[in-house]
Amino acid sequence: MANAEIKTMEDLTLEERERAEAHPLAVPFLFLGRKSFQDKFIYIALIGLLITIGLGFIYPLHHPAPYDVMPASWGWIGFLSYSFLVLCAKPLFKLLARPESYYGEDPNMDLDHIPEEQPHD
């Protein structure tokens, strides 16, 4: 039997280190963090759009809404809504995000200046 080399955490590649540190149930989903997957994720939405448009022609609406001016317009409306939400995520995060110490959970925070609550009589 050949001597098997035992790798330390410093010897591992970034991908191997991610896999070693991840929760076992998260390991199958590590591909979601790859840049190559994130760059091509929009194609999943486009394929969904084409499928829903195709289904709109096969199964037309019995009572179309006033904004249904063309067949399967709900597919376009859904795609544009999805795109709007995705594009709003980053500005909304910058607007609504709070620092990690916002709720006073920082263990290094000095809380001596906060007076203790006095009981009501």
Neighbouring residues of 120: CB distance < 8 A, sequence distance ≥ 6: none
The span from the CA of 3 to the CA of 51, in Å, is 54
Band of the pLDDT at 16, cuts 50, 70, 90?
confident
Band of the pLDDT at 1, cuts 50, 70, 90?
very low
Computed on alpha carbons and rounded to an integer, the radius of gyration of the chain in Å comes to: 26
Neighbouring residues of 76: CB distance < 8 A, sequence distance ≥ 6: 49, 53
**What pLDDT shows up at residue 35?**
87
CA 5 to chain centre: 37
**Whether pTM exceeds 0.75:** no
Q: What is the pLDDT of residues 66-94, one digit of tens each?
A: 877 776 677 788 888 988 998 999 999 98
Neighbouring residues of 30: CB distance < 8 A, sequence distance ≥ 6: 18, 19, 22
Contact by Cβ (8 Å): 71, 60: yes
Q: What is the pLDDT of residues 19-68, one digit of tens each?
A: 878 888 988 888 888 888 888 888 888 898 889 888 878 887 777 778 77
7 has a pLDDT exceeding 60: yes
Name the token pair of 39: 């760059």
**What pLDDT shows up at residue 84?**
92
**What pLDDT shows up at residue 88?**
92
The span from the CA of 31 to the CA of 69, in Å, is 40
Higher pLDDT, 112 or 96: 96
